[in-house]
A and B are shown apart, each in its own frame.
Chain A
């Protein structure tokens, strides 16, 4: 028997890893969010229900999917979140949850502790309530987020903190990172790319940092600097979305990745195996062709 962090032998095309946007609903309205345009009652009513999600999870498990990322929106804003989460963990998926954490109290932290996730990644967009809540547009969210982080760490859960670099929080990125560093074994991830809204809106980009501002930010911290340096040096691989990883949106559409939703296979009306093995390979992705892989596009496109 071998203990591993990842599998050694996989076919080139295998449905190993799923990112599932189980809802676009969210209790916050972050200014740079690309899903908040779908955080409307009429669209939320069209999202997959619990039974549909469980059925698709079963089909994915039978096909061999191992890694499952539940994201949103805010996944915990679904009333049935823990039914879905606990089912997935008990089915043997390695479940990672992307959350703003503001809906996590002792009750939710205890439920996570009872069936621990593979990872729980929390968006911490500021080191002060003023900055944090200017981004989330929700009074009280900063202290709820910090409290949740403490509740999860008290239960020895595998927390990761992350932030997106914006014009609104660039002055606090290093102090967010310092806060993460001050906690025991809590990694920090900095996102430096923004996406258009799902309805095509360009709202998030008004908060984007210029390349010069990003460079200046990265220069201020040795690790950020090293990561930026690696990104600039690295020979970017061809996009492999749809090969060993795939995306499902809140309405059950199987897609190549979160950044490419132009085509989708309707899992409500078809099987996961058919969708992954027969339909997904036919979906277009200009980033799979080296002749068209513009550097910036590719970096934005990759999950």
Chain B
């Protein structure tokens, strides 16, 4: 996992809070995914909230570690899985920074 990477949300995914669950709804869905919604767990929802196209993964992880009682290693592991999932459905993209990453 590249900790200096910066990710941005795909605006074609709308976040909805439904009965306490964080849901991602793709608004330009294709036929095969027309019946699907994506539900984020608590960590996933918190990560999604922090992805803003400017903060690096390291910055986000450090913020998490200060806020929650969880080891950095555990966070890295959880984030790795979530990032792969979010990238696979194109809910996020890695930002290419002209002057290099900030984190």
B31 at the binding interface (Cβ < 8 Å): yes
In contact, A64 and B19 (Cβ under 8 angstroms): yes
B40: min CB distance to chain A, Å: 5
Contact of A92 among B27, B31, B36, B85 (CB under 8 A): B27
Digit string of B37-48 for contact with A (CB within 8 Å is 1, else 0)? 111110010000
Contact of A5 among B25, B36, B89 (CB under 8 A): B36
Query: Given A1-B44, A7-B39, do A118 and B34 touch, yes or no (CB 8 Å)?
Result: yes
Contact of B21 among A3, A9, A119 (CB under 8 A): A9
B35 at the binding interface (Cβ < 8 Å): yes
A16 at the binding interface (Cβ < 8 Å): yes
Query: Given A7-B19, A92-B14, A92-B15, do A1 and B37 touch, yes or no (CB 8 Å)?
Result: no
Most buried by B among A1, A7, A16, A64: A1
Which residues of A (106-149) have their CB < 8 Å from a CB of B? Answer: 114-116, 118-119
A87: min CB distance to chain B, Å: 11
| Chain B: interface residue total (CB-CB under 8 A) | 29
In contact, A14 and B36 (Cβ under 8 angstroms): no
Contact of A7 among B14, B18, B86 (CB under 8 A): B18
Which residues of A (50-100) have their CB < 8 Å from a CB of B? Answer: 61, 64, 66, 89-94
| Chain A: interface residue total (CB-CB under 8 A) | 31
In contact, B31 and A156 (Cβ under 8 angstroms): yes
In contact, B35 and A5 (Cβ under 8 angstroms): yes
In contact, A4 and B14 (Cβ under 8 angstroms): no
A244 nearest CB neighbor, chain B only:
B19
A63 nearest CB neighbor, chain B only:
B18
Query: Given A89-B27, A92-B25, A185-B31, do A4 and B16 touch, yes or no (CB 8 Å)?
Result: no
B75 at the binding interface (Cβ < 8 Å): no
Which residues of B (1-54) have their CB < 8 Å from a CB of A? Answer: 14-21, 23-25, 27-31, 34-41, 44
Digit string of A1-33 for contact with B (CB within 8 Å is 1, else 0)? 111111111110010100000000000000000
Can you sample 28 A-B contacts with CB below 8 Å?
A1-B39, A2-B38, A2-B39, A4-B38, A4-B39, A6-B37, A8-B39, A10-B19, A11-B19, A14-B19, A16-B18, A16-B19, A61-B16, A64-B19, A66-B18, A66-B37, A91-B14, A92-B14, A94-B37, A115-B27, A116-B29, A116-B34, A118-B29, A119-B34, A156-B30, A156-B31, A157-B31, A158-B35
B: residues with CB less than 8 A from A are 14-21, 23-25, 27-31, 34-41, 44, 82, 85-86, 89
